[in-house]
């Protein structure tokens, strides 16, 4: 089955009929259907799939005589809330199609080729991006992860078991992986500007998520004089504006994209506002300076508003520099441009674990991502499949 046919099979899974976006959160029925689809596609190709205790999957092609460290490719199948179709699944579908292409060419690799799918890459349910790959590499422990809760208060450990998985079975082993190459739709317009269908990643900007807890005093929206209020919404509003301004001045990134309000009543001054900041910068120093300035201004405003602020770093990832030699080798293979990315990926986690890692990007005509409007042209996706096949052939010799 080719890329276009697989894409049609995936299109309805977890898709909203009202927005057209995808709700493929981990350990839900939609994500379970995707795991089953991946296992079926691998079985159709004669590959046996290993699913670990939390839902990470890997399938290996080991032709007769193939030995030594394997080459792993793949990506993730989960989505952000109301996300696009391509972020994650394109890498998995392209990996299966690339394996088909290699076989059609008559190439027999001398090293095993694997296709992996990591769970909870987006962090859309439990707030920890790349959680599956973090657990597999040991960057996060199961003892830490199992106590995470989603928006409904469900513990991650309970969600995994409710999905029919058994965490006591353990996690995937990456001991036999000699290199990892992840294909991903570009989340930006660099390739459009360079008139190229495919690119190679040089690295990932440092980034993180911080929880801002603003506490005030609940009161009546009509009878409480403005000067008598201790309104945490005002402190939050100024903080969001400060984050936007500081990111623009520094030419970095800062976004408050999620907020919770208590008691969340139309006619009540809030008692508490909790907001999550996503911040990214070209360097670790730049990220620290950006977040530090936002926190400083938020604390000053809290003092004026009579509110209180507590800031918690929920997850912070340093700069990732992909294997330079590997990246140069791949860029030369196809004459593809090299570009950085501001988005986090499982490839970054595996790179930090010491596995030689590279990424291929497929052109995104609008640059829009994490949105139902995310897109890629079929011709570019097919070019990505050919590029990935070339790369896997090169690395599996």
Q: Render each residue's pLDDT in the chain as its tens digit; 397 residues.
A: 799 999 999 999 999 999 999 999 999 999 999 999 999 999 999 998 999 999 999 999 999 988 999 999 999 999 999 999 999 999 999 999 999 999 999 999 999 999 999 999 999 999 888 999 999 999 999 999 999 999 999 999 999 999 999 999 999 999 999 999 999 999 999 999 999 999 999 999 999 999 999 999 999 999 999 999 999 999 999 999 999 999 999 999 999 999 999 999 999 999 999 999 999 999 999 999 999 999 999 999 999 999 999 999 998 988 999 999 999 999 999 999 999 888 889 999 999 999 999 999 999 999 999 999 999 999 999 999 999 999 999 999 8
Give the pLDDT confidence score for residue 208 in this predicted structure.
94
Q: 381 near 90, Cβ under 8 Å?
A: yes
Q: What pairing do the DSSP bridges indicate for beta strands 57-61 and 113-117?
A: antiparallel
- Which of 320, 388, 373, 385 has the alpha carbon at shortest distance from 351? 320
- Which of 203, 201, 204, 206 has the alpha carbon at shortest distance from 317? 206
Q: How far apart are CA 94 and CA 386, in angstroms?
A: 9
Give the Cα-Cα-Cα angle 111, 117, 122 (nearest 5 degrees): 140
Q: 353 near 223, Cβ under 8 Å?
A: no
Fold classification of 3-205+319-395 is Aminopeptidase (3.40.630)
Give the pLDDT confidence score for residue 364 in this predicted structure.
96
The reported pTM is 0.87
All CATH 3.30.70.360 domain ranges of the chain, comma separated, are 207-317
Give the pLDDT confidence score for residue 397 in this predicted structure.
87
Kindly give, in sequence order, each residue whose CB lies less than 8 Å from that of residue 330, ignoring residues fewer than 6 positions away: 181, 200, 336, 358, 360, 391, 394
Give the pLDDT confidence score for residue 1 in this predicted structure.
72
Give the pLDDT confidence score for residue 101 in this predicted structure.
97
Phi–psi pair at 179, nearest 5 degrees: -165, 150
Phi–psi pair at 100, nearest 5 degrees: -60, -40
Q: 187 near 341, Cβ under 8 Å?
A: yes
CATH number of 207-317: 3.30.70.360
CB atoms inside a 10 Å sphere around CB 312: 11
All CATH 3.40.630.10 domain ranges of the chain, comma separated, are 3-205+319-395
Which 8-state DSSP code applies to residue 83? B
Query: Which CB contacts under 8 angstroms, 24+ apart, belong to 150-158?
Result: 150/125, 150/126, 151/125, 156/126
- Which of 299, 319, 280, 345 has the alpha carbon at shortest distance from 90? 345
Query: Which CB contacts under 8 angstroms, 24+ apart, belong to 263-267?
Result: 263/218, 266/221, 267/220, 267/221, 267/222
């Amino acid at each position: 089955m080719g890329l276009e046919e697989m894409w049609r099979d995936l299109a309805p899974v977890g898709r909203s009929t009202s927005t057209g976006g995808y709700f493929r959160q981990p350990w839900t029925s939609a994500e379970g259907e995707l795991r089953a689809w991946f296992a079926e596609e691998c079985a159709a190709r004669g590959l046996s799939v290993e699913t670990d205790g939390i839902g990470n999957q890997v399938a290996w092609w080991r032709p007769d005589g193939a030995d030594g460290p394997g080459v792993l490719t793949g990506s993730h199948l989960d989505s952000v809330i109301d996300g696009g179709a391509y972020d994650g699944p394109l890498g998995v579908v392209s990996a299966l199609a690339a394996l088909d292409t290699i076989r059609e060419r008559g190439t027999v690799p001398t090293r095993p080729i694997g296709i992996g799918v990591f769970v909870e890459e987006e962090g859309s349910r439990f707030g920890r991006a790349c959680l599956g790959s973090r657990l597999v590499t040991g960057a996060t422990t199961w003892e830490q992860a199992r106590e995470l809760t989603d928006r409904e208060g469900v513990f991650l450990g309970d969600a995994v078991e409710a999905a029919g998985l058994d965490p006591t079975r353990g996690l995937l082993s990456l001991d036999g992986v000699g290199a990892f190459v992840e294909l991903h739709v570009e989340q930006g317009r660099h390739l459009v500007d360079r008139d190229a269908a495919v690119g190679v990643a040089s690295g990932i900007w440092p980034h993180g998520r911080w929880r801002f807890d603003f506490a005030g005093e609940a009161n009546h929206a009509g009878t409480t004089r403005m000067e008598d209020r201790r309104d945490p919404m005002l402190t939050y509003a100024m903080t969001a504006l400060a984050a936007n301004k500081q990111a623009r001045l520094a030419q970095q990134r800062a976004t408050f994209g999620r907020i919770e309000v208590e008691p969340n009543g139309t006619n009540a001054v809030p008692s508490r506002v909790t907001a999550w900041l996503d911040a990214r910068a070209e360097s670790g120093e730049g990220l620290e300076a950006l977040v530090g300035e936002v926190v400083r201004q938020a604390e000053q405003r809290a003092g004026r508003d009579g509110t209180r602020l507590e800031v918690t770093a929920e997850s912070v990832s340093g700069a990732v520099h992909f294997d330079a030699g590997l990246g140069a080798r791949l860029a030369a293979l196809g004459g593809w441009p090299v570009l950085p990315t501001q988005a986090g990926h499982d490839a970054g986690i595996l790179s930090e674990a010491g596995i030689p890692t590279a990424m291929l990007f497929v052109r995104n005509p609008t640059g829009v991502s994490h949105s139902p409007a995310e897109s890629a042209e079929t011709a570019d996706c097919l070019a990505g499949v050919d590029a990935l096949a070339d790369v896997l052939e090169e690395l599996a010799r």
